Chains A and B, each alone.
Chain A
């Protein structure tokens, strides 16, 4: 397949092939059926697969996510869609206390092959209850695998691999990516759910990011290139378990690292990355690690305030320049 398609379409294709390939797979979520999905990912799937496979759930996040855990335990392969990460907070209990813990606390007797997908992120003036980036919280929890597809290849490829994982997988889809288009490099996309990818090679500084921040980090790298700075961009793709080898490999070459994280700075995921660089790559670094993160404020509605709160191309470029010690 070489035609361009959107991230949304790639996700829909991934669902279609998962549903078509395994009768145990079903999609559960609010408005995934009749409405067509709040971000239109599942549009048309109800007609194609029927209401037993595409299950509209009432506004009961704790209930239907918990039921997804039980259904996975009982032999089904549920994909549970939560509209937005903010609403997933109503379902933290079944995700953290049950799904993530069950294998261990049952002494390995039970496991939960559940996939939970949700939209995440800011940038659309949706204010404080629809805009947060909490994937770092989920990545804190042992027992979960946490994915952040940022390309059409990943949107197409990761879902099937997540369903094959015997343990719970949480997939974060940045709301600003749904309309982004691209071309698949392989018919099934990229099914790797274990490794980071170098999206742009470079020798001067390594920009590390994931999910919704990838496009603007690549834009920052392009801007740096115009100024003669050769920035590498590493897309983590998988936040847990974390593939640091790919990051170290790049940092060893560039000796400088800038971490771009859409969550709040304090205790954000970039803090974990920075700590690992300190622990394992300290002597490879020529400069302190830089973080570009969101200001410590609930995301405000007004456009200029939201923009000021979030990492922007200019702030990434500025951080890279600081890291290069003004030599660029």
Chain B
């Protein structure tokens, strides 16, 4: 299936911004993989490569008053949300100047300034959190919605079903963004859900539902725009974006559960190059401009790595800070 059958309908600024954000995620993730290989990033590292169109298409629709909740595969969301690349990279290096002072690492990125509520590594754990944040936003009379990102695997957890019902019951301004990349570690969707039509699950609880090709950043943005509008008007929504992760689940995954050919077929639909090709074909963007953008993004990532590498480590004497409020 080709990606994006119609011309890119946005003005040039928006069109290029989508590309820039996807490229930032891609280059950042490639740097993470490299730094993991060098031993500078440790623990579990879950790469987002292949799914960039989701974060790039959805996150910029959120304003400063809105909140985000994400999973352990959240580098891209944090980056697009505006958490500085160097602060994210320093966190992954376990440094004192990382966004969580080195306490969280790759799976637990948090940033209060941008209302980025993590970084939740218990599958499904972010969903009830989002319902509560949305309830708080609604009760405080403050403008603001909550976007909650999660994988399709989380939809087998009771937390999804309870949260979907609560959100609909209480009519809180929550946007549930399901990144359906077809696998939960090694478990394909068909082997984890008797009913694979994910919108059907959400609709059963009274959520408004939409679905789009998650490889097409244009479709993602347009569909998310409609969903966000609806959520702002008070109706909780569920958005399914069909995507694919190109890399292993984490750095420990031998990938015994899928065929190379399947991965290759999805790579051919990669969100970054298909979109770049479309922009070029439409004459919206030239090769020279692309190279300049790529160089700019590469410089940002290089600077982030350099910053992280020379950042101070937290002394062990600080171990016990931030467990509860300081006395």
Task: Judge whether B26 is part of the interface by a CB distance below 8 angstroms.
Answer: no
Q: What is the bound-complex CA distance between A31 and B254, given in angstroms?
A: 12
Task: Judge whether B170 is part of the interface by a CB distance below 8 angstroms.
Answer: no
Please give 6 more A-B residue pairs, beta carbons under 8 A apart, in addition to A86-B122, A129-B107, A297-B323: A35-B187, A58-B192, A58-B193, A59-B192, A127-B105, A304-B314
Q: Which A residues touch B124, using CB under 8 A?
A: 59
Task: Judge whether A30 is part of the interface by a CB distance below 8 angstroms.
Answer: yes
Q: Which B residues touch A38, using CB under 8 A?
A: 185
Looking across the interface, which residue of chain B has its beta carbon closest to that of A46? Answer: B256
Beta-carbon contacts under 8 Å, B98-155 to A: 100, 102-105, 107-108, 120-125, 153-154
Q: Which B residues touch A307, using CB under 8 A?
A: 316
Q: How many residues of A contact B (CB 8 A)?
A: 36
Closest approach, in angstroms, between the C-beta of B45 and any C-beta of chain A?
A: 10
Chain B residues engaging chain A, CB cutoff 8 angstroms: 42-44, 94-95, 100, 102-105, 107-108, 120-125, 153-154, 156-159, 184-187, 191-193, 253-254, 256-257, 313-316, 318-320, 323
Report whether A302 and B94 are in contact in the complex, using a CB–CB cutoff of 8 Å: yes
Q: What is the bound-complex CA distance between A129 and B316, given in angstroms?
A: 20
Report whether A127 and B108 are in contact in the complex, using a CB–CB cutoff of 8 Å: yes
Given A56-B191, A297-B323, are A305 and B153 also a contact pair (CB < 8 Å)? Answer: no
Closest approach, in angstroms, between the C-beta of B319 and any C-beta of chain A?
A: 5
Looking across the interface, which residue of chain A has its beta carbon closest to that of B120? Answer: A129
What are 13 residue pairs bridging A and B, where the CB atoms are less than 8 Å apart in the complex?
A: A35-B185, A87-B122, A125-B43, A127-B107, A127-B121, A129-B107, A295-B319, A296-B320, A298-B323, A302-B314, A304-B94, A305-B103, A305-B319
Closest approach, in angstroms, between the C-beta of A36 and any C-beta of chain B?
A: 5
Task: Judge whether A276 is part of the interface by a CB distance below 8 angstroms.
Answer: no
Task: Judge whether A248 is part of the interface by a CB distance below 8 angstroms.
Answer: no
Q: Which B residues touch A298, using CB under 8 A?
A: 103, 323
Closest approach, in angstroms, between the C-beta of A59 and any C-beta of chain B?
A: 5
Given A31-B186, A124-B43, are A304 and B122 also a contact pair (CB < 8 Å)? Answer: no
Task: Judge whether A314 is part of the interface by a CB distance below 8 angstroms.
Answer: no
Q: Mark A293-311, 1 if CB is under 8 A from B, else 0.
A: 0011110111111011100
Q: Which A residues touch B122, using CB under 8 A?
A: 86-87, 90, 129
Q: What is the bound-complex CA distance between A302 and B102, given in angstroms?
A: 5
Closest approach, in angstroms, between the C-beta of B149 and any C-beta of chain A?
A: 16
Task: Judge whether A63 is part of the interface by a CB distance below 8 angstroms.
Answer: yes
Q: Which of A60, A296, A300 contacts B157 (CB 8 A)?
A: A60
Q: What is the bound-complex CA distance between A35 and B253, given in angstroms?
A: 8
Q: What is the bound-complex CA distance between A149 and B131, given in angstroms?
A: 41
Looking across the interface, which residue of chain A has its beta carbon closest to that of B103? Answer: A300
Closest approach, in angstroms, between the C-beta of A65 and any C-beta of chain B?
A: 12
Report whether B156 and A35 are in contact in the complex, using a CB–CB cutoff of 8 Å: no
Looking across the interface, which residue of chain B has its beta carbon closest to that of A35? Answer: B186
Q: Which B residues touch A56, using CB under 8 A?
A: 186-187, 191
Q: Which of A61, A90, A126, A301 contacts B103 (CB 8 A)?
A: A301
Given A125-B42, A305-B319, are A59 and B108 also a contact pair (CB < 8 Å)? Answer: no
Task: Judge whether A128 is part of the interface by a CB distance below 8 angstroms.
Answer: yes
Task: Judge whether A53 is part of the interface by a CB distance below 8 angstroms.
Answer: no
Q: Which of A36, A59, A86, A295 contacts B320 (CB 8 A)?
A: A295
Beta-carbon contacts under 8 Å, A272-328 to B: 295-298, 300-305, 307-309
Looking across the interface, which residue of chain B has its beta carbon closest to that of A295? Answer: B319
Q: What is the bound-complex CA distance between A127 and B95, given in angstroms?
A: 14
Q: Which A residues touch B153, using CB under 8 A?
A: 58-59
Closest approach, in angstroms, between the C-beta of B104 and any C-beta of chain A?
A: 6
Q: Which of A34, A124, A129, A302 contacts B186 (CB 8 A)?
A: A34
Q: Mark A193-218, 1 if CB is under 8 A from B, else 0.
A: 00000000000000000000000000
Beta-carbon contacts under 8 Å, A33-72 to B: 34-36, 38, 56, 58-63
Q: What is the bound-complex CA distance between A293 and B42, given in angstroms?
A: 24
Q: Which A residues touch B95, using CB under 8 A?
A: 302
Looking across the interface, which residue of chain A has its beta carbon closest to that of B189? Answer: A58
Report whether B186 and A296 are in contact in the complex, using a CB–CB cutoff of 8 Å: no
Q: What is the bound-complex CA distance between A36 and B158, given in angstroms?
A: 25
Report whether B191 and A297 are in contact in the complex, using a CB–CB cutoff of 8 Å: no
Report whether A58 and B156 are in contact in the complex, using a CB–CB cutoff of 8 Å: yes
Looking across the interface, which residue of chain B has its beta carbon closest to that of A128? Answer: B108
Report whether A34 and B156 are in contact in the complex, using a CB–CB cutoff of 8 Å: no
Q: Which B residues touch A301, using CB under 8 A?
A: 43, 94, 100, 102-105, 108
Q: Which B residues touch A58, using CB under 8 A?
A: 153, 156, 184, 187, 191-193
Looking across the interface, which residue of chain A has its beta carbon closest to that of B105? Answer: A301
Report whether B42 and A31 are in contact in the complex, using a CB–CB cutoff of 8 Å: no
